[in-house]
Amino acid sequence: MTTEPRRAPAYRTQNWSLAKPSARGRKGVVVSQNHEAAAAGAAILEAGGNAADAAVATAFALAAVEPWNSGLGGIGFGVVLKAGESRAQVVDFGPVAPRRADPADYPLTGAMKFDLFAWPEVEGDRNIHGPLSFCVPSSVAGYARLKERFGTSMPVGELLQPAIALAKRGLAQDWYTTLKIASSAAVLRLYEESARIYLPGGLPPVPPYQGVPGFRTLGNLGATLEHLAKAGLDDFYRGDLARRLAADIAAVGGVVDAQDLAECRATVREAPVIDWRGTHRIHTAGGLTAAPTLQAVVEGMAASPPPEGGPDSAWFARLSQVTREAYASRLEGLGAAQMAKEPGETCTTHLTVVDGEGTIVALTTTLLSSMGSRLVLPETGVLMNNGMMWFDPRPGSANAIAPGARPLCNMCPVVVTPADGGYPRHGAGASGGRRILASVYQMLAFTLDSGMSLEDAAHQPRIDVSGPDGTSADARLPEGTLDALAAVGPLTVVEHGVLPLNFACPNMVRSGQDGQEGISDAASPWSAAVAAN
């Protein structure tokens, strides 16, 4: 029995203990925030595909079963470590502003906007939702590059079949769907096709009281996936679908055009490496992701490993200080680019795959906000990202809006190798916007330093530091830990709930000489690790 901490939330939404198993598979494991998508990837492994093939199949499936976090209209980064190699590669399909992006299209109101970021408010929130919030949709290019560079000869059309079947069936109208759609309903209702799909009768869908949930198709998404399966993924950017997509965007008032699509490319480069106390190498996406801040935290904690068996109060207190300092450095010079102090629903999706040979793919993709721009393109069924929200809307500022510019973002997929090049190896990442960094670091520390199993690490209560001004702590942490955290800075004690408001949703795979294993986020109701045997 645990004692209720003195600073526990005054109101609890959950009075239960959650548990989620890991999975072990001879042919590998796929971990995703949705069981059906993970099962789609595992089926590809069982059919002879490798980790890259399975990751692509899972990513496309997620567009049909978890549409608020990722999809054809999104962006992302992947880190890939091929079996037998010691250096990972990055598949970079990160956010890029359209070539006709114009700061004048984002006039300021003079107020501040507290959403995922505390930027100056733009008239009509046009950087947050609607047609002017789109960055160039690069997810399909990223998945294509991942398949071409690292996949097998399995046809792309075969990888898309699970996504096509799921899209034709439709999105499950269960309680979690209701919860997620309701949180975005106030904006979804502003856009005709979005409202038609997600707000039948003008309201979020309500599941039946008994039996299986109903299903609702996501507009023309299924037809678009079928077209890609036949025409190839490049058609999204330089073919018939590209022409229809550009026309779709123009019809709703967006500025992403045919040239933006034609020039969209995903690149592959060597992954930057972070030294982990001389024992491991952390392969990251580098650049304008959370990787440089992760490196600052790793370096700041180098002399403070958590005790074997699990972290103690002194370790958590030190992590709070180091991470707040790292965020202060990250945001230095950005002025208004402070993380919002109010909690906001996490978004993005992360999937991790390991195949039977030991190749690992850690892939993070996003629409940025939950439901991205909230605008579904009516002719193609693509839910577009709201990547322009990553930019500071003040003209001339750091991280400012500019044609073809790339903003700072929070994604942090990683692959881990022992310093001696041996085993075990890990892949990890998380969804959750600004909360990703802290969760990824803690999962690494729990497994690499404390020697926790994947299951123990996934169930260990964590803290979150999303900026320089304070720490959130899981109410399940011991009271002594909460006291230590409160002594080093502002502390808020929160629940780790099934609606991901307060903590990110990490997942992880492990590849060892004894086989492959994976674990998903314990609190996420739909997530799962699915084995291939």
The percent of residues above 90 in pLDDT, for the chain, comes to 86
**How many domains does the chain fold into?**
1
Is pLDDT above 70 for 6? no
Peptide bond into 306 cis (omega under 30): no
Domain membership flag for residue 321 = yes
CA distance 187 to 56: 30
- Per-residue pLDDT, averaged over 33-55, amounts to 98
Domain membership flag for residue 490 = yes
CA distance 305 to 307: 6
Is pLDDT above 80 for 333? no
Is pLDDT above 60 for 336? no
Sheet holding 425-431, edge to edge: 23-25, 515-519, 505-512, 425-431, 414-418, 280-284, 273-276
Task: Identify the band that residue 346 occupies on the pLDDT scale cut at 50, 70 and 90.
Answer: low
Domain membership flag for residue 101 = yes
Task: Identify the band that residue 18 occupies on the pLDDT scale cut at 50, 70 and 90.
Answer: confident
- For residue 211, the model assigns a pLDDT of 77
Q: Which residues contact 300 (CB under 8 A, 6 or more apart)?
A: 322, 323, 325, 326
Please give the mean pLDDT across all residues of the chain.
Answer: 93
- For residue 8, the model assigns a pLDDT of 63
Is pLDDT above 60 for 12? yes
Task: Identify the band that residue 373 occupies on the pLDDT scale cut at 50, 70 and 90.
Answer: very high
CA distance 205 to 417: 45
- Per-residue pLDDT, averaged over 6-17, amounts to 77
- For residue 7, the model assigns a pLDDT of 64
Report pLDDT digits (tens) over 253-268. 999 999 999 999 999 9
Give me the CATH number covering residue 145.
Answer: 3.60.20.40
> Burial, 84: exposed, middle or buried (Cβ in 10 Å; 0-12, 13-18, 19+)?
exposed
348 flagged as catalytic: yes
Task: Identify the band that residue 5 occupies on the pLDDT scale cut at 50, 70 and 90.
Answer: very low
The percent of residues above 70 in pLDDT, for the chain, comes to 95
Question: Of 109, 408, 136, nearest to 254 (Cα)?
Answer: 136
Q: Which residues contact 449 (CB under 8 A, 6 or more apart)?
A: 277, 305, 306, 308
Report pLDDT digits (tens) over 96-147. 999 999 999 999 999 998 766 778 999 999 999 999 999 999 999 999 999 9
- Per-residue pLDDT, averaged over 227-245, amounts to 98
SS (H, E, C) 183-242: HHHHHHCCCHHHHHHHCHHHCCCCCCCCCCCCEECCCCHHHHHHHHHHHCCCHHHHCHHH
- Per-residue pLDDT, averaged over 388-409, amounts to 92
Report pLDDT digits (tens) over 460-491. 999 999 888 899 999 999 999 999 999 999 99
CA distance 179 to 206: 9
Domain membership flag for residue 6 = no
- Which one of 348, 352, 366, 380 is the catalytic residue? 348
Task: Identify the band that residue 337 occupies on the pLDDT scale cut at 50, 70 and 90.
Answer: very low
Report pLDDT digits (tens) over 130-139. 999 999 999 9
Question: Of 11, 163, 14, nearest to 500 (Cα)?
Answer: 14
- Per-residue pLDDT, averaged over 359-365, amounts to 98
Question: Of 282, 260, 262, 279, nearest to 271 (Cα)?
Answer: 282
CA dihedral 189, 191, 192, 194 (to 10 degrees): -80
CA distance 507 to 290: 17
- For residue 4, the model assigns a pLDDT of 45
Q: How many residues does the chain have?
A: 533
- For residue 316, the model assigns a pLDDT of 98
- For residue 330, the model assigns a pLDDT of 81
CA distance 250 to 175: 35
CA distance 260 to 45: 34
- pTM here? 0.95
Is pLDDT above 60 for 417? yes
What is the chain's percent helix, strand, coil content, to nearest 5? 35, 20, 45
Domain membership flag for residue 204 = no
- HSE-CB of 222 using CA atoms within 13 angstroms: 14
Question: Of 452, 405, 402, nearest to 424 (Cα)?
Answer: 452
Domain membership flag for residue 13 = no
- Per-residue pLDDT, averaged over 389-396, amounts to 92
Which domain covers residue 510, as residue numbers?
Answer: 25-170+217-532
- For residue 347, the model assigns a pLDDT of 79
Question: Of 263, 47, 320, 36, nearest to 138 (Cα)?
Answer: 263
- For residue 338, the model assigns a pLDDT of 42
- For residue 117, the model assigns a pLDDT of 73
Domain membership flag for residue 203 = no
Picking from 33-47, 254-268, 376-390, 493-507, which range would have the lowest pLDDT averaged per residue?
493-507
Domain membership flag for residue 103 = yes
- For residue 128, the model assigns a pLDDT of 96
